[in-house]
Structure 1
Amino acid sequence: MTRIRRIAGKALAWLALLVGLFFLTAWIGSAIPRNGGWEEPGDGVTIMVETNGIHTAIVMPLVTETKDWRTDFPATDLAAPGLAYTHVSVSWGEREVFLNTPTWADLSLPTVLNAATGGDGLLHVAHYIRPAPSPDHRELTISEAEYAKLVAAIEGQVLPAQQRKKYEGYSTYDVFYDAPGTYHLGNTCNQWTSDMLALAGVKTGWWTPFPGGVMKWVSAG
């Protein structure tokens, strides 16, 4: 019994060390900038980066001269299609976590372990009406050219309608879609957000598995 306790103690110590190293590398990686010379322009397209404390998303105008997101994410896919939506929030994450955890109380250990070791990707799309800025919904102005790059990056994550399935969202104004990519500890929902911003040329962290690593690059105003 004593030997078993020693082995268990060593295993827990190694686990704690690995978890600590993960958090440390995440902190370091999120502090190293991509597009370090970028500065927010005085005018252009205003987007938002939002968080719920666990997950981040990019909020964009529903319709601009550059992109009409209604072609990719029609309101008819929503439970409440007839409202005057003005913005669309797009994020990416792990299928089972998205579909089977409507609240964080529903999150189970098997779901977490599956996501950490490799799960299928899914897009979460929410439609908003004039979202107000707040500490969790931070405005960011980018140039027209940068917005076009952001649009192109996100379009690359959108499967054609005939190749994707849609899934009921958490409320009447959101929906899920099949999406490419594999979720794992090195490629999280928050990494996806910073990758999209980086492809647009915006300053953000290199490795951002946690929401704080994304949000710290966006001024709270």
Structure 2
Amino acid sequence: MKKRNLLKRTIISVLLLLAIPVSYFAISILLTFTTVNGNTAEFNNQNKTVYLSTNGVHLDIIIPKQDIDPGLLENLIHLEREEYISFGWGNENFYINTPTWGDLTFRNAFQAMFLNGPTLMHVTRYKQKSSTWIEVRLDETALKKLNHYIQRSFQRDNTGSTIILVNAGYSEHDNFYKANGGYSCLKTCNTWVNTAFKESGLKASYWTPFDFGLIRKYERSI
């Protein structure tokens, strides 16, 4: 009898543990495909363009340098011939210690998802537009809101300047800056991008930890 009760408790415990990731995934899918701000674009003068890019997992927002708020641009490293700048937000440990998916470890993934760790802004500069970027049309008002959201994500020092991590970039074309907010399974790199679009009045998912939610919404509108 004791062995039977132990087996029963073990099975229940395993099922409960499995229910957590299954529920997370199911709710994530449902909210990813629930669209907000779906009709706003019809009434706007969409004379500006930004872009979405993904490495298959992680989304970035790319803005033409001429459309980046001067107060933000003056605090970023960039060269005159670089025409586009991308912004990504994510877990500091994951960014620094996992430059490629081959470097991914269970420990880094667990810390990023569950320990609400410190975050970084990943800023990359481009000389020209890539054919893989997804175009997003928006008006001046939405662009200003998007700029403001990105600006608020940067951590500042006592002088109001962004805080750069020296020699931490992956190449000569990117840099990491200290960011505001903590990373978790409820606030991922992709929820950061999705929230940026929601707060700017752009079409977005209700909530999503995935990259494909936004990508699909804008691929279909091309």
TM-score between both structures, scaled by the size of structure 2: 0.85
Structure 2 counterpart of 1:17, one-letter code: A
Report the structure, 1 or 2, having the larger strand content: 1
Secondary structure of 1:46's counterpart equals strand
Matches within 5 A, 1:1-221: 10-39=12-41, 41=44, 43-64=46-67, 67=70, 69-75=72-78, 84-117=81-114, 118-134=116-132, 137-160=133-156, 162=161, 164-167=163-166, 168-219=168-219, 221=222
Residues 186-219 of structure 1, C-alpha deviations (whole Å, 9 max, x = no match) = 1000000011111111010011101112212212
Distance across 2 between alignment mates of 1:9 and 1:100:
37
Pair 1:120–1:128, CA change in 2 (3 A) = same
Where in structure 2 are there 5+ consecutive unaligned residues? none
Structure 1 counterpart of 2:47, one-letter code: G
Say how many residue pairs are matched: 212
Residues 45-74 of structure 1, C-alpha deviations (whole Å, 9 max, x = no match) = 111011111100100011238547531212
TM-score between both structures, scaled by the size of structure 1: 0.86
Pair 1:25–1:140, CA change in 2 (3 A) = same
Distance across 1 between alignment mates of 2:193 and 2:140:
19
Pair 1:158–1:43, CA change in 2 (3 A) = same
Whether the 8 Å CA contact 1:62–1:69 is kept in 2: the answer is no
Pair 1:140–1:68, CA change in 2 (3 A) = farther
The share of aligned pairs that are identical, in percent, is 25
* Aligned residues: CA RMSD: 2.3
Where in structure 1 are there 5+ consecutive unaligned residues? 76-81
Pair 1:5–1:99, CA change in 2 (3 A) = farther
Rg larger in structure: 2
Whether the 8 Å CA contact 2:164–2:175 is kept in 1: the answer is no
How far does residue 131 in structure 1 lie from its aligned partner after superposition? 1.5
